[in-house]
Structure formats: C-alpha cells, structure tokens
Amino acid sequence: MEDKIPTSLSKKRILVIDDQGAIRVVFSTFLKDIGFQHVDCAMDGKDALKLMRIYPYDLIICDWVMPKLSGLELLVMLRNSEQAKEIPFIMATSTSDTEDVKQAIDAGVTDYIIKPFQPLQLKQKVISHLSKSDYKSQKINLKQEKSGKDEEFDLDKSEQEVEAQSSKAE
C-alpha cells in the first residue's frame, strides 16, 4: 500500500476515463489505496459526460484514444465550457509522440502521463493539481457540437445504470 494522501484531499472526486477496463481498475484501485474516497470510472468520453451530469468532479484522468468521444475531444469541450474550463485534466496515453503532446497542450490539458504510469508519478501529479486548483467542482451539462449545430448527447441511460456501469469497472 502506498503512502496516504493529505486528509484534506481524500473527499475530492476523481473521474477516470479509459476504454480498457483493466486500465480503469488499475487507476481507480491505486487512487483508492492512497486514500481517495470518491473515484468513478467511465469507458469513453460520452459516458464521462453522463457521469458529469450526476456528480461534481474535482479532477479528470482521461485516455486519449477512445471510441465515441476521444480524450482530446472531451478536453476541448470542457475547455470551451464556462462550467468546466478550469477543471484539472490529466491526459493518460501510451504515446509520447511530441505532436500529440503539443496538441493536448494547445487544447488546454493540465498535465500528461504516459501509460504504463509510475504510481509515485501519478500520485504527485494528482496531489499537485488538486492542491493548487481553484476549480469549484460542480455538475456539468455539456452539449456536443456537430456540423455547426449543438446536439445534446443521447443520455438515455438512467442515473442508476450509469452508476452501475461505473462501479462495475472498479
């Protein structure tokens, strides 16, 4: 078991987004082991948006390449939203391609972590960004922009189904 996080951060809510279930489990288990009490998981950006309508998150850890809505697309949507433009967003990906890193930085990513990640590195990044963030967590209701017009995501799953899916990934 890793050293625990500062008590003041233990109730912060973190959203882990990755299309690979094993990766979601690794991230969420580690974060819970070091003391975070509220870690939710989503399998892609679209499911993440559903969870963001239900829960106020303090930090997002997100994979880059995912079906339906990529990490970069989600990041751009959040940075273009008054509600969420300041939320700490850590991009997690298996590529260290400098062009990808530049693209994420240009889109407003808070930080970047390469998978497989080093536990101490993840812990330091999460603690650092939660500690210095002025973002006040809130539920977020975003629209997806397609073809120049706003279209709300199909949020046909009930809140209970989304919660069940999130906890199943843990």
Report yes or no: 135 and 87 within 8 Å, Cβ to Cβ. Answer: yes
> 125: pLDDT confidence band, cut at 50, 70 and 90?
very high
Q: Sort strands 38-42 and 13-17 into parallel, antiparallel or unpaired.
A: parallel
pLDDT of residue 163: 44
How many CA atoms are closer than 13 Å to the CA of 76, on its beta-carbon side?
Answer: 12
CATH assignment of 10-134?
Answer: 3.40.50.2300
> 135: pLDDT confidence band, cut at 50, 70 and 90?
confident
Structure tokens at 149: 């017009």
pLDDT in tens, 23-47: 999 999 999 999 999 999 999 999 9
pLDDT at 147 over 50: no
Report the share of the chain in percent with pLDDT over 90. Answer: 64
pLDDT at 10 over 90: yes
CA distance 6 to 9: 6
> 162: pLDDT confidence band, cut at 50, 70 and 90?
very low
Residue spans per domain, the chain: 10-134
What global pTM score does this model have?
Answer: 0.82
pLDDT at 106 over 80: yes
**Sheet arrangement for strand 59-63:** 38-42, 13-17, 59-63, 89-93, 111-114
pLDDT in tens, 48-66: 999 999 999 999 999 999 9
Closest by CA position to 77, among listed 45, 34, 30: 45
Give the DSSP per-residue string, 51-115: HHHHS--SEEEEESS-SSS-HHHHHHHHHT-TTTTTS-EEEEES---HHHHHHHHHHT-SEEEES
